[in-house]
């Protein structure tokens, strides 16, 4: 049975190609965490220690807590972290984390509020109405003094969600609630919360059944997207800021050529171009031709409008050029509203045609049918019959984009 996690789904959404490298092909490359991830890992580990000690009626002193924090940073796995902010050093990250930890300690010590039920614990559960399981790790599960069971997630980043309606808040915590409800159905009522150490802010929410159903469907669609990509073996790269610290950069089809060019930049010039340099020449030639094409299209469109205007003004159909004639044919044709520019009239006309029984005016919308297929909205019988018509075909689209000076694409 396939098992997924919130981080896996998030990774696929961020970059399907990186997801494939890590979870499908399982490419073994040296992985170095970003400084932000390392900071979060260290703080979570120290906070776990604080609450574990409190459950045994012990309270770690602030000095001991800071010593544990420093020891976590000195572990070998922290040696090769990647700095994602060029203006900050690893010392800056450590100092920021220490400040957050001090404030957290002062606010919540002696860490005995309510009853801690689980701290940094893994759960695996059957996702509703699906053939797969979900895995999650809850930072703190506790019963408050008012009897409410709270699922608490600690956040160490700088971003604060735009309220409890922000998907950055709801999607992960909805998954957590589904997991806890499946594991402990007797835990009621349940609230979810995120505590942002950088801002010292706590966001709480109690999902309504409708909200939880909506989030469940959203998660389901995300996973169906993953399963569809696996079925088609289609994992396109999605470029962005995350490329800067991706461990698969030298393998990525969107970055590999640029990495090769950068590696060859310091080599001595040769009369024979390397394959990477030759490819770059072809790309540049295409870009120049594409720019000329855009200019010609614009020029042709403007000249066409001029010719139509001239033909109307002079009441002629043929305009004599030095090398050939240009024929301008103008006529009136019947037309009906189109969805692209007259949507309201188009919808009204569609309803009218259906009421009149004009079935021959409607054609099969294969795009909509594919959406139903991918979203698993068909019955088993429907899927079985339509499956005979599903094929995979290779497509290609060539386009251009501007590149930022730091070689990170938008």
Kindly list the domain boundaries of the chain, sorted by start residue: 122-225, 289-331, 333-362
- The pLDDT assigned to 245 comes to 82
Cα–Cα–Cα angle for 109, 110, 115, rounded to 5 degrees: 110
**Residue 54 Cα distances to 41, 51, 60, 111, angstroms:** 20, 5, 8, 6
Give the burial class of 331: count Cβ atoms within 10 A of its Cβ; 0-12 exposed, 13-18 middle, 19 or more buried.
exposed
Nearest of 65, 153, 139 to residue 102 by alpha carbon: 65
How confident is the model over 81-99, as a mean pLDDT? Answer: 89
Beta bridge partners of 360: none
Q: What is the pLDDT of residues 54-86, one digit of tens each?
A: 999 999 999 999 999 999 998 876 777 888 778
Averaged pLDDT for residues 248-275: 80
Average pLDDT value over all residues in the chain:
88
Banded model confidence at residue 403, pLDDT cuts 50, 70, 90: low
The residue-averaged pLDDT of 82-106 equals 92
Q: Tokens 């003004």 identify what position?
A: 313
User: Where is pLDDT greater, at 158 or 405?
Assistant: 158
Q: Does the predicted TM-score (pTM) go above 0.95?
A: no
187-198 pLDDT per residue, tens: 999 999 999 999
Judge contact between 223 and 132, C-beta under 8 A.
yes
Percent of the chain with pLDDT over 90: 59
Say if CB 179 and CB 134 are below 8 A apart.
Answer: yes
Q: Among 121-125, 160-164, 174-178, where is mean pLDDT lowest?
A: 160-164
pLDDT of 394 strictly over 90 = no
Please name which of 130, 143, 223 lies closest in space to residue 182, comparing C-alpha atoms: 130
| Cα distance between residue 152 and residue 120, in whole Å | 10
95's CB contacts (< 8 A; 6+ apart) are none
Checking if the pLDDT of 262 tops 90, the result is: no
Q: What is the CA radius of gyration of the chain?
A: 30
Q: Is the pLDDT of residue 183 over 70?
A: yes
> Once rounded to an integer, what is the mean pLDDT over residues 151-175?
91
> How far is Cα 301 from Cα 215, in angstroms, rounded to an integer?
48
Residue 71, burial from CB neighbour count under 10 angstroms (0-12, 13-18, 19+): exposed
Q: What is the mean pLDDT of residues 127-154?
A: 96
């Amino acid at each position: 049975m396939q098992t997924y996690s919130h981080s896996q789904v998030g990774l696929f959404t961020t970059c399907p190609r990186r997801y494939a490298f890590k979870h499908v092909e399982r490419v073994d490359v040296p992985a170095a965490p970003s400084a932000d991830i390392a900071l979060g890992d260290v703080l979570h580990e120290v906070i776990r220690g604080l609450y574990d000690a409190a459950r045994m009626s012990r309270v770690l002193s602030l000095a001991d807590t800071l010593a544990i924090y420093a020891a976590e940073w000195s572990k070998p796995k922290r040696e090769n972290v990647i700095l994602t902010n060029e203006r900050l050093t690893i010392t800056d990250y450590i100092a920021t984390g220490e400040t957050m930890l001090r404030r957290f300690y002062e606010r919540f010590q002696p860490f005995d509020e309510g009853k801690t039920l689980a701290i940094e614990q893994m759960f695996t559960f059957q996702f509703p109405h699906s053939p797969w399981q979900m895995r999650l790790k809850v930072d703190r599960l506790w019963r408050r003094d008012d009897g409410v069971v709270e699922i608490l997630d600690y956040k160490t980043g700088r971003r604060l969600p735009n309220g409890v309606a922000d998907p950055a808040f709801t999607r992960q915590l909805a998954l957590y609630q589904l997991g806890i409800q499946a594991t402990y159905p007797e835990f009621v009522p349940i609230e979810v919360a995120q505590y942002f150490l950088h801002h010292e802010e706590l966001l709480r929410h109690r999902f309504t059944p409708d909200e939880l159903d909506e989030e469940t469907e959203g998660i389901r669609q995300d996973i169906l997207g993953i399963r569809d990509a696996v079925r088609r073996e289609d994992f396109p790269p999605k470029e962005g800021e995350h490329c800067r610290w991706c461990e698969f950069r030298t393998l990525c089809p969107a970055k590999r050529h640029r990495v090769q060019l950068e590696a060859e930049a310091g080599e001595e010039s040769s009369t024979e171009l390397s394959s990477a340099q030759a490819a770059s020449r072809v790309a540049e030639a295409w870009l120049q031709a594409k720019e000329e094409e855009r200019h010609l299209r614009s020029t042709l469109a403007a000249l066409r409008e001029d010719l139509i205007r001239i033909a109307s003004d002079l009441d002629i159909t043929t305009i004599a050029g030095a090398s050939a004639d240009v024929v301008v044919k103008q006529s009136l044709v019947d037309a009906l509203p189109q969805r692209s520019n007259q949507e309201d009239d188009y919808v009204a006309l569609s309803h009218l045609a259906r009421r009149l029984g004009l079935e021959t005016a409607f054609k099969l919308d294969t795009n909509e049918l594919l959406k139903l297929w991918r979203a698993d909205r068909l019955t088993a019988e429907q899927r079985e019959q339509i499956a005979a018509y599903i094929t995979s075909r290779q497509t290609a689209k060539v386009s251009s984009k501007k590149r930022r000076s730091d070689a990170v694409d938008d």
